[in-house]
């Protein structure tokens, strides 16, 4: 620091913040152009620049209302399968991570490698068998006696499938956390004769709450955002999830960019809210998912 003069340092800092600000503009520009467009009338977005806010004469809420009408059912359906799949995959991941980390037996590493490899599987390599499986295991006729489930067979299939494909990543997240727990505490509990289940319920579970936040947030975002599984597993249009509804809105409203952008924001809203309020946890999930 001694050889740099204050002014050069100041200049460096200005350059640094200018670069950071430019990057902010780049990362936010698609969202900015989209939100401006969503509030414009058709002539508004055709005749003005996409990054300019609407004027009073080109301002309208119409696009939001229309887009919401198109996406409403999809939003409900998405919530219906995303929430159970998120909670189940996080809970099961916690149990698996505990069973494979804080107990002692040979072969844990092998099971773990098999599970972790599941994170990286391209979904395409299981699509055809999945669609076969869910047409053989016909949820609609299995639950024929219980209409609310039978009517949503596609959503049940999605919930189960996403739970299965979420367990590897949640296991990895919880495992990293459980490895960092103080071992002597668990040893002491064992010496006191606590059973494995008791140690989990009394010690591990309460200490897992921050990690549950990470796993739930990460899984919710992943599952909500998925399109591919839904395309293959949802047969009945009444069960379309929101990403499907948005895709068909985009396909049928060619050129109506205000509607498309409003629809994209409505679809993204739950994950955006989660990200804005729990960004730290999401980042932790992202970092843990790779390492």
Partner 1 sequence: MRSRILRVLRPGEQADAESEQQVRTDGGTSADRPQRGAADSDARADGGVTATADQPSRARRWLDSEFVKSLPFWLPATLLVGLFVYGAIGWNFVISLTDWTGLRQPTYDSFDFEMYEVFFRNVGKGGLLSGPHTQEYWALRNTFVLLVVFTVAALVVGLLLAILVDRDIRYENTFRTIYLLPMSLSFVVTAIFWAWMYNPDTGMINETLRLVGLGSLTQQWISDPQFKLFAVMFALVWQFSGYAMVVYLAGLRAIPTDQYEAAKVDGASLVKMYWRVIIPQLRASTTSAAVVLMVFALKAFDFLFVLFGTRPGPSADILAMMMYRESFGITNWAYGSAIAMVLFVLALGVIAPYLYVQFKRGEL
Residues of this chain, 27-56, that bind partner 1 according to CB under 8 A: 27-31, 33-34, 37, 45-46, 49-51
CB atoms within 10 A of CB 62: 14
Give the binding range for partner 1 (CB under 8 A) out of 60-68, 145-153, 207-215, 273-281.
Answer: 273-281
Q: Looking at beta carbons only, is 142 or 272 nearer to partner 1?
A: 272
Which residue from 5, 57, 69, 120 is in contact with partner 1, where contact means CB under 8 A?
120
Minimal CA–CA distance to 173: which of 79, 269, 86, 81? 86
The Cα–Cα gap between 272 and 202 comes to: 34
The Cα–Cα gap between 220 and 226 comes to: 10
Q: In the window 55-84, what residues touch partner 1 (CB under 8 A)?
A: none
Q: Looking at beta carbons only, is 148 or 180 nearer to partner 1?
A: 180
Q: Please, are residues 288 and 172 in contact by the beta-carbon 8 Å criterion?
A: yes
Which residues, 6 or more positions from 201, have their beta carbon under 8 angstroms from its beta carbon? none
Q: Looking at beta carbons only, is 89 or 151 nearer to partner 1?
A: 89
Give the binding range for partner 1 (CB under 8 A) out of 62-70, 140-148, 151-159, 162-170.
Answer: 162-170
Give the binding range for partner 1 (CB under 8 A) out of 61-69, 108-116, 147-155, 206-214.
Answer: 108-116
Which residue from 56, 180, 206, 209 is in contact with partner 1, where contact means CB under 8 A?
180
The Cα–Cα gap between 154 and 1 comes to: 63
Q: In the window 223-242, what residues touch partner 1 (CB under 8 A)?
A: 224-228, 231-232
Establish how many alpha carbons lie within 13 A of residue 2's alpha carbon, considering only the half-sphere containing its beta carbon: 0
Q: Tokens representing 84?
A: 């159970």
Q: Please, are residues 247 and 227 in contact by the beta-carbon 8 Å criterion?
A: yes
Which residue from 59, 61, 68, 123 is in contact with partner 1, where contact means CB under 8 A?
123
Q: Looking at beta carbons only, is 57 or 124 nearer to partner 1?
A: 124
Give the binding range for partner 1 (CB under 8 A) out of 54-62, 63-71, 142-150, 195-203.
Answer: 195-203
Which residue from 167, 214, 215, 233 is in contact with partner 1, where contact means CB under 8 A?
167
Which residue from 125, 145, 146, 148 is in contact with partner 1, where contact means CB under 8 A?
125
Termini Cα distance of the chain = 35
- We find the least distance from the C-beta atom of residue 125 to partner 1, in angstroms, to be 4
Backbone φ, ψ for residue 56 (5° rounding):
-55, -35
Give strand pairing partners of 40.
59
The Cα–Cα gap between 171 and 97 comes to: 5
Q: Is 207 in the site for partner 1 (CB under 8 A)?
A: no
Backbone φ, ψ for residue 40 (5° rounding):
-105, 155
Which residue from 41, 60, 73, 271 is in contact with partner 1, where contact means CB under 8 A?
271
Q: Is 209 in the site for partner 1 (CB under 8 A)?
A: no
């Amino acid at each position: 620091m001694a050889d740099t003069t204050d002014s050069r340092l100041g200049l460096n800092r200005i350059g640094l913040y200018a670069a950071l600000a430019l990057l902010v503009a780049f990362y936010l520009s698609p969202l900015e152009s989209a939100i401006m467009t969503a509030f414009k009338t058709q002539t508004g977005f055709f005749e003005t620049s996409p990054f300019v806010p609407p004027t009073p004469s080109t301002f309208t809420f119409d696009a939001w209302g229309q887009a919401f009408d198109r996406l409403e059912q999809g939003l409900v359906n998405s919530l219906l399968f995303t929430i159970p799949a998120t909670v189940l995959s996080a809970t099961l991941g916690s149990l698996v991570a505990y069973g494979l980390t804080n107990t002692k037996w040979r072969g844990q590493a092998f099971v773990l490698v098999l599970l972790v490899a599941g994170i990286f599987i391209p979904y395409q390599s299981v699509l055809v068998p999945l669609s076969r499986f869910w047409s053989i295991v016909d949820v609609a006729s299995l639950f024929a006696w219980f209409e609310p489930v039978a009517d949503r067979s596609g959503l049940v299939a999605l919930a189960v499938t996403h739970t299965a494909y979420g367990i590897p990543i949640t296991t990895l997240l919880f495992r990293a956390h459980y490895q960092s727990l103080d071992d002597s505490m668990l040893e002491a509990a064992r010496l006191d004769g606590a059973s494995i289940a008791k140690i989990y319920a009394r010690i591990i579970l309460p200490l897992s709450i921050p990690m549950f936040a990470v796993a739930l947030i990460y899984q919710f975002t992943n599952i909500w955002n998925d399109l591919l599984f839904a395309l293959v597993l949802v047969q009945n249009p009444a069960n379309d999830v929101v990403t499907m509804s948005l895709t068909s809105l985009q396909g049928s409203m060619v050129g109506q960019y205000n509607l498309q952008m409003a629809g994209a924001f409505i679809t993204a809203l739950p994950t955006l809210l989660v990200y804005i309020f729990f960004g730290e946890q999401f980042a932790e999930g992202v970092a843990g998912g790779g390492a």
